[in-house]
A and B are shown apart, each in its own frame.
Chain A
Amino acid sequence: MSRALKNNVYNTLIWTAAVLSIAILVFLIATLIWKGMGAISVGFLTSASENFGSEGGILYQIIGSLALTLCAAVCSFPIALGVAIYKSEYVKSKVFQNITDTIIYSLNGIPSIIFGIFGLIFFVNILQTGVSWFVGGIILAMMILPTIILASHQAIRSIPNSYRENAQALGLTQWQVIRAVIFPRGINGAFTGLLLGLARAIGETAPIMFIATAFSGVTVPRTFLEPVSSLPTHILALAQQATNPQALQNAWGSSLVLVSLVFIFSISALVRRIQYSKINY
């Protein structure tokens, strides 16, 4: 085969692959929007679900999902920021640096269903909390810790050492340096990471399905130890009755709402990342 011909074959392959990939991805989004729009109305978003979720709306599923993510955010943010600061400002030994890195990457790699099983054993059975949204939030918080830590750490690392040295030269204690120099940048990074983490957390089903959610009868939680309904588990229940047209329509509607929430988080993260990548020291 001549080189020119080979070049053409390669080109065709690449173009075909690109068109195919993009077609698949466009198909996904188009399906979600097309099928989902048919189900969504004001009534759908503001009423409770009825009759196995095939009738009524998804108000309490939305509230439940938001409660879970809010809880995850509140629990994970301060801890992640602390780890990021410790990692970048305090750890001097290479060995401990490697250990924390390994730990963080391990936590990041744990499959989501394993978090669910862990939560079931540790919280529901050992601590006897019962099925509760608060426990679900804590589990989701553990799951997104690495994302926030890494984003925050990256932001802190990009601060030039001269800033720290100047601050120290002014006679500030280490914690004052951190508060004045490290904190603002670290929080920014952590916030971007948090948005990315929440985009993942809100769509997760496996970690919460044993420990945080219930099928029906739940409204706005009145205590910490009560189950909620959530969008992903609602879609799971509806997907199982996919030949019931009404249930299927509500499933598409719930999916579009869920994907929109995910995209709100991830687009905000993307925008922030682009903005902050322009800051130069």
Chain B
Amino acid sequence: MLVFQNKIGKGYVLASTYLCIAVTLLIFLILFWNSYPALSTVGFDLFTMTWNPAKDQFGVLSMLFGTLAVTAIALLIAVPLGILTAIFTSEILPNRYRLYVKSAIELLAGIPSIIYGLIGIALVSPWIATLFELSSGRTLVTAGILLAVMILPTIITLTDDALHNIPQQYRETSKGLGLYPFEIIQKTLVPIAKRNIAGAVLLALGRALGETMAVMLLVGSIDKIPEPFYNLLSPGQTITSKLGREVGESAFGSLHFSALNAIGFLLLLLVITLTIGTQVYMRKGIRTV
């Protein structure tokens, strides 16, 4: 009986693990399998401008551009803001408040993306339109700003952890050398925490790339690269907004559906490479002080 139980127990945990692995592989396989028709027939024509399913033209350049632009804007805002705020919570804020502030920020990280979409449509996009005198507030910048707010809590909490985990003696020694507080941060703490801060940014980048709902509602969803390309106060398209809007209306099995799968697969590879890369990078970076 005991041996039998032992076997069932092992079977259960083993089955769970294999199921988990199978599910992950299945997602990759299914996406690749459905991308294949488009990848083989359209091939390198994917890297062109025109997307017109009626004529079997599937150019994804404008979506790649939009994704990069929106993500870059989000990082440009959120990274400096997040790291500076983390320095504040870790180094300036008295310890007894830190837990509360940190818990609050962690809670905010959980606000669903559709709510950012609503705030964007109802408030931010009209503000942007008025501020820059645009005829529409649905632009790459608007989507980028909302995305920045979304990833801000992630960057703050992870950077704060990285800084706070540095033993107190480093600060004391630096202080003993007569360094100013900013020099302690700049010359001692940040270099030590560099790897973990980079990890935080990469994680936030991964989230920004894959975010759908808010971006889809706010980016304008037009398959164009702005003219000139740095005029980011114009509407555009990202991979995720394209998927969110078109997957439902393309027929399963059609070339159109397959092309959408192909850009989904592209996004998946991008984000997964990033996530695994971060993980490997961080694993090497574990310090034993």
Chain A interface residues toward B at CB < 8 A: 3-4, 6-7, 10-11, 13-18, 20-22, 24-25, 28-29, 31-32, 78-83, 85-87, 89-90, 99-118, 120-122, 125, 142, 145, 149, 173-176, 178-179, 199-200, 202-206, 209-210, 232, 235-236, 238-240, 242, 248, 251-252, 255, 258-259, 262-263, 266-267, 270
Least Cβ–Cβ distance between B151 and chain A, in angstroms: 12
Least Cβ–Cβ distance between A229 and chain B, in angstroms: 14
Interface residues of B in 252-289 (CB under 8 A from A): 252, 260-261, 264, 267-268, 271-272, 274-276, 279
Where chain B touches its partner, the secondary structure class is helix
Are the C-beta atoms of A25 and B105 separated by less than 8 Å?
A: yes
Are the C-beta atoms of A267 and B107 separated by less than 8 Å?
A: yes
Least Cβ–Cβ distance between B12 and chain A, in angstroms: 5
B87 within 8 A of partner (CB): yes
Complex interface bits, B150-163 against A, C-beta within 8 A gives 1, otherwise 0: 00110010000000
Chain A residue nearest to B115 in the complex (CB): A255
Where chain A touches its partner, the secondary structure class is helix
Chain B residue nearest to A102 in the complex (CB): B276
B206 within 8 A of partner (CB): yes
Are the C-beta atoms of B271 and A122 separated by less than 8 Å?
A: no
Are the C-beta atoms of B267 and A114 separated by less than 8 Å?
A: yes
Contacts of A120 in B (CB 8 A): 247, 252
Are the C-beta atoms of B182 and A82 separated by less than 8 Å?
A: no
Least Cβ–Cβ distance between A44 and chain B, in angstroms: 17
Chain A residue nearest to B85 in the complex (CB): A21
23 A-B contacts (beta carbon < 8 Å): A15-B88, A20-B81, A21-B156, A22-B101, A25-B153, A31-B123, A79-B16, A79-B19, A83-B13, A90-B13, A102-B279, A107-B20, A107-B27, A111-B209, A113-B244, A117-B261, A122-B26, A122-B30, A205-B114, A236-B217, A239-B121, A242-B118, A270-B107
B53 within 8 A of partner (CB): no
Chain B interface residues toward A at CB < 8 A: 2-3, 5-6, 8-10, 12-17, 19-21, 23-24, 26-27, 30-31, 34, 80-82, 84-85, 87-89, 92, 101, 103-108, 110-115, 117-119, 121-123, 149, 152-153, 156, 180-183, 185-186, 206, 209-213, 217, 240, 243-244, 247-248, 252, 260-261, 264, 267-268, 271-272, 274-276, 279
A262 to B243, CA, bound (A): 26
**A235-B115, A262-B111 provided; 10 other pairs, C-beta below 8 A?**
A7-B180, A17-B85, A28-B111, A105-B275, A107-B20, A110-B210, A117-B243, A173-B6, A203-B110, A236-B117
Q: Chain A CB within 10 Å — which of B15, B26, B279 has the most?
A: B279
